[in-house]
């Protein structure tokens, strides 16, 4: 068992309240034998800086998927990722089968097994790269996420996203996306590049996706209004895998463009850049406790 670890936490994320809240979990981990320090984030991407400074030790991301994403983008090759799922959706925690209650998640950090998982890598037009653990959303859902302020998320929780989706659906145009996989080009309105099965919490976007497959699963929604069709909406509400009803394919890497328009991209629930952008899988990239 590691004897040194850090908790990198966003005290304003999800159910977290303040510095003392994170210290509560640190005390549980100390009682289990870890020498641990709590580091609170103070600004966007601060968790990435703190994770890079932590070096080759156990780095525990305490917060939502955005905090986890920031930590993953700063992890050294020799570090191990632990997760305290304190956010709203906690997609990666669900993907790994982790407990969603903080105290139980601490116990899993102390007793769980270590394994390696794939990550996705997005590369923008300038060549800047950013990792994602769960999914990249191209177009529609990135616009939805831009509408969901931290205050809206805090008060409405999971209801914030469907309400924002309706607003974006009736307000915005939906430009055509070109998704290039090898010699094949797909035309669509909305695409999700999935590294894992889950999306937005318990919703299954890509049944065929896996954190250990070495590939990404690309789900194409050719027309966003299909999501409102009764048979598709019923599937969504029943939390059935959407890729059974939509076109999807596995890929080690794709290029996404939308000529003449500025289409945003979200990575693990946070907007990051716009098209053109490429996406690839980085197999067995990080070590996690699960």
Q: CA nearest 81: which of 149, 183, 12, 73?
A: 73
Both 265 and 203 in one domain: the answer is yes
Query: pLDDT averaged over the chain?
Result: 89
Both 96 and 165 in one domain: the answer is no
Which CATH number fits the domain that encloses residue 279? Answer: 2.60.200.40
How confident is the model at residue 3, as a pLDDT?
55
β-strand 264-267 against 270-274: which pairing, if any? antiparallel
Residue that terminates a domain, selected from 65, 91, 112 = 112
Both 131 and 272 in one domain: the answer is yes
Spell out the residues 6+ positions from residue 183 whose beta carbon is closer than 8 angstroms to its own.
none
Give dist(CA 59, CA 133) in Å, integer. Answer: 16
| pLDDT tens track for 52-69 | 999 999 999 999 999 999
Q: CA nearest 123: which of 286, 259, 216, 255?
A: 255
How confident is the model at residue 1, as a pLDDT?
45
Q: How many domains is the chain built from?
A: 2
How confident is the model at residue 237, as a pLDDT?
59
| pLDDT tens track for 226-285 | 776 666 766 665 666 777 778 999 999 999 999 888 899 999 999 999 999 999 999 999
How confident is the model at residue 5, as a pLDDT?
96
Spell out the residues 6+ positions from residue 212 whose beta carbon is closer than 8 angstroms to its own.
116, 117, 118, 283, 284
Both 269 and 133 in one domain: the answer is yes
Q: Is residue 195 in a domain?
A: yes
Give dist(CA 71, CA 67) in Å, integer. Answer: 6
Which CATH number fits the domain that encloses residue 36? Answer: 3.40.50.10330
Tokens of 16: 């977290």
Q: Is residue 290 in a domain?
A: no
Q: What average pLDDT does the segment 168-176 reach?
A: 80
Backbone region of residue 31 per phi and psi (left: phi > 0; alpha: psi in -120 to 50; beta: other values): alpha
Both 206 and 125 in one domain: the answer is yes
pLDDT at 88 over 90: no
Confidence category of residue 2, pLDDT binned at 50, 70, 90: very low
Give the least confident one: 7-11, 94-98, 209-213: 7-11
Tokens of 282: 């980085």
- Output the pTM of the full model: 0.89
Residue that terminates a domain, selected from 57, 92, 112 = 112
Provide the domain limits for residue 195.
120-285
Confidence category of residue 210, pLDDT binned at 50, 70, 90: very high
Alpha carbon of 175 to those of 92, 179, 187: distances in Å?
A: 29, 13, 10
Confidence category of residue 203, pLDDT binned at 50, 70, 90: confident
Both 131 and 154 in one domain: the answer is yes
Q: Is residue 183 in a domain?
A: yes
Q: Is residue 234 in a domain?
A: yes
Three-state secondary structure string covering 24-68: HHHHHHHHCCCEEEEEECCCCCHHHHHHHHHCCCEEEEEECHHHH
Tokens of 49: 């800086």
Both 85 and 186 in one domain: the answer is no
Residue that terminates a domain, selected from 72, 93, 112 = 112
Tokens of 50: 């703190």
- Contact, 66 vs 47, CB < 8 A? no
| pLDDT tens track for 93-136 | 999 999 999 999 999 999 999 999 999 999 999 999 999 999 99
Phi, psi of 142 (to 5 degrees): -65, -40
pLDDT at 13 over 60: no
The continuous run of DSSP H or E covering 112 comes out as none
Q: What average pLDDT does the segment 1-8 reach?
A: 78
Tokens of 142: 């990135």
């Amino acid at each position: 068992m590691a004897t040194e670890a850090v908790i990198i936490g966003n005290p304003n994320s999800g159910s977290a309240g303040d510095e003392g809240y994170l210290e509560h979990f640190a005390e549980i981990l100390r009682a289990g034998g870890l020498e641990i320090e709590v580091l609170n984030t103070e600004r966007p991407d601060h968790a990435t800086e703190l994770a890079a400074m932590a070096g080759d030790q156990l780095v525990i991301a305490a917060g939502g998927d955005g905090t986890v994403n920031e930590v993953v983008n700063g992890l050294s090759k020799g570090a191990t990722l632990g997760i305290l799922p304190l956010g709203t959706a906690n997609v990666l925690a669900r993907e790994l089968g982790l407990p969603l209650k903080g105290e139980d998640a601490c116990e899993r950090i102390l007793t769980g097994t270590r394994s390696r998982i794939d990550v996705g890598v997005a590369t923008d037009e300038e060549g800047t790269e950013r990792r994602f653990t769960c999914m990249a959303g191209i177009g529609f859902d990135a616009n939805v996420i831009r509408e969901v302020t931290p205050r809206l998320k805090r008060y409405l929780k999971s209801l914030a996203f469907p309400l924002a989706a309706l607003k974006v659906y009736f307000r915005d145009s939906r430009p055509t996306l070109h998704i290039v996989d090898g010699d094949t080009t797909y035309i669509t309105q909305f695409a999700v590049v999935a590294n894992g099965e889950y999306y937005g919490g318990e919703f299954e976007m890509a049944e065929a996706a896996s954190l250990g497959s070495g590939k990404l699963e690309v789900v194409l929604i050719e027309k966003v209004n299909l999501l409102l069709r009764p048979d598709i909406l019923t599937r969504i509400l029943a939390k059935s895998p959407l890729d059974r009803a939509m076109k999807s394919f596995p890929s080690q890497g794709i290029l996404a463009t939308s000529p003449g328009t500025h289409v945003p991209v979200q990575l693990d629930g946070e907007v990051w850049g716009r098209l053109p952008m490429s996406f690839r899988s980085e197999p067995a990239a990080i070590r996690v406790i699960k």
